[in-house]
Amino acid sequence: MQKTLESLSRKHPNRPIAVTADLANDNLNSICRLSLAWISDGSVHGLTFLIKPPTDEFTCRKITADMVADCQPFADVWDGEIKILLKNAVLSAYSSEQLFLAIKASYEASGKPFSMEDAYVRDLKFLAAAYIADLENFSFLSIMHYMNISVDLDNSLSRAMACACGMNWMENLYPIGNYGLPLSAVMAGALHEPTEEETQRKAEAHKTLEQAAHYMQRLFLPFVLLCLILAGYYLYSLQENAKTHVDFSQYSSVKAVPPEQKPSFPAIETNKEYLMLRGTYIVCDAGTIPEFLDAFQNHDVELIRQMVRSDEVIVFMNPTRVKSLSPADEKGFVLVKILGGEYDGATGYAHSMMLE
């Protein structure tokens, strides 16, 4: 145990700790074994913890009620042994949302609210779907088979070590070193898999787009001809106007900025409700906007994460209604009030391009 913990202290800070759990039964609050694994010193290391669930109802194939009869409840094991090991760590898991919802439910079975300093999670299933195009399906076994990594699916420690090796495999081939979703976003459904109804709606929308593309192909040549005619007329008009144009700006003490150089933003009505989709954001303080825009333009991921964690910037995990309180300023930002959700009543500045 001591050597394993020492290897954890030598783990590179950006390398994730893989987390897996076994449930005693179909209830999310029935975690009976939780395992951690990581890559350190060129090898994979792991720890496993046996836990007594709230009931003695066991359908798990590898853990029995007798094996955990003398073990502590989940909340005690989490607070006393696991939480300190995960402090400030990047985490990884296969199907993260389901795992961390089970951790939350198992902890709260003790009657205490679950809380954890927001960590960043690398989801193996999500990354495999994003980078490995020739996989027929993205089950854990299929991903491990593709990576030539052996795993015992009935053993959480084996799955955790396989997950750690899988993340190491991907980190060596793909640019995922800075990837990570906040744990709060994962538990709010940021990686939620679509239901059958959502999949059907997506298929219908795709079919509609294909039909539109077919009609566009038929209309493409007439459209190009029309564009050429309009472009020719526009150039002709410019030449004619140039003959009689007078630059009145020379009579002004401050030269005016040509209108065509000013950015154009959608017209926003004050005191009107708008919809902001998932992934859009508001900046809570007007003074923070320049700093946030600089961070965005300079790809300063750490600063953006810090601003999100400190609630200087609120990122919406679900479509949210807001009410405009001002017109757009010269940069396109509008003062809005959030209507509903976790931040109900809060105000901040949203860009007019994000309001629908």
Neighbour-count burial of 28, counting CB atoms closer than 10 A to its CB (0-12 exposed, 13-18 middle, 19+ buried): middle
Tell me whether residue 304 is in a domain: yes
- Based on the fold, state whether residues 188 and 280 are members of the same structural domain: no
- Based on the fold, state whether residues 279 and 188 are members of the same structural domain: no
pLDDT tens per residue, range 134-166: 887 889 999 999 999 999 998 999 999 999 999
pLDDT tens per residue, range 302-342: 787 778 888 888 888 778 899 999 988 888 889 999 998 88
Tell me whether residue 76 is in a domain: yes
What is the 8-class DSSP label of residue 251? G
Q: How far is CA 346 from CA 131, 328, 338, in A?
A: 38, 18, 6
Looking at the predicted structure, is the pLDDT value of residue 197 above 90?
no
Q: What is the pLDDT, as a whole number, of residue 250?
A: 32
Q: What is the pLDDT, as a whole number, of residue 249?
A: 34
Looking at the predicted structure, is the pLDDT value of residue 50 above 90?
yes
- C-alpha to C-alpha distance for 109 and 6, rounded to whole angstroms: 32
Neighbour-count burial of 307, counting CB atoms closer than 10 A to its CB (0-12 exposed, 13-18 middle, 19+ buried): buried
Tell me if 123 sits within 8 A of 93, measured CB to CB: yes
Write down which residue in 195, 224, 259 finishes a domain: 195
Tell me whether residue 209 is in a domain: no
User: Residues 25-45: what's their mean pLDDT?
Assistant: 93
Tell me whether residue 19 is in a domain: yes
Taking alpha carbons only, the member of 99, 123, 124 closest to residue 34 is 99
Q: What is the pLDDT, as a whole number, of residue 87?
A: 86
- C-alpha to C-alpha distance for 26 and 49, rounded to whole angstroms: 20
- Based on the fold, state whether residues 163 and 277 are members of the same structural domain: no
Residue 223's pLDDT band, with cuts at 50, 70 and 90, is low
pLDDT tens per residue, range 74-122: 999 999 999 999 888 889 999 888 899 999 999 999 999 988 877 888 8
- Based on the fold, state whether residues 51 and 175 are members of the same structural domain: yes
Q: What is the pLDDT, as a whole number, of residue 171?
A: 86
Q: What is the pLDDT, as a whole number, of residue 328?
A: 86
Neighbour-count burial of 68, counting CB atoms closer than 10 A to its CB (0-12 exposed, 13-18 middle, 19+ buried): buried
Give the range among 129-133, 298-302, 314-318 with minimum mean pLDDT: 298-302
More confident residue, 198 or 82: 82
Mean per-residue pLDDT over the chain, rounded: 80
For the full predicted model, state whether its pTM sits above 0.85. no
Write down which residue in 147, 177, 195 finishes a domain: 195
Write down which residue in 195, 220, 254 finishes a domain: 195
More confident residue, 128 or 219: 128
Q: What DSSP string runs through 69-108?
A: TTSPBHHHHIIIIIGGGGTT-EEEESSHHHHHHHHHHHHH
Tell me which residue range forms the domain holding 331. Answer: 272-354
Whichever domain contains 115, its CATH number is 3.30.420.10
Tell me if 328 sits within 8 A of 264, measured CB to CB: no
Tell me whether residue 310 is in a domain: yes
- Based on the fold, state whether residues 190 and 300 are members of the same structural domain: no
How many other CB atoms are found less than 10 A from the CB of residue 89? 18
Tell me whether residue 118 is in a domain: yes
- Based on the fold, state whether residues 32 and 181 are members of the same structural domain: yes
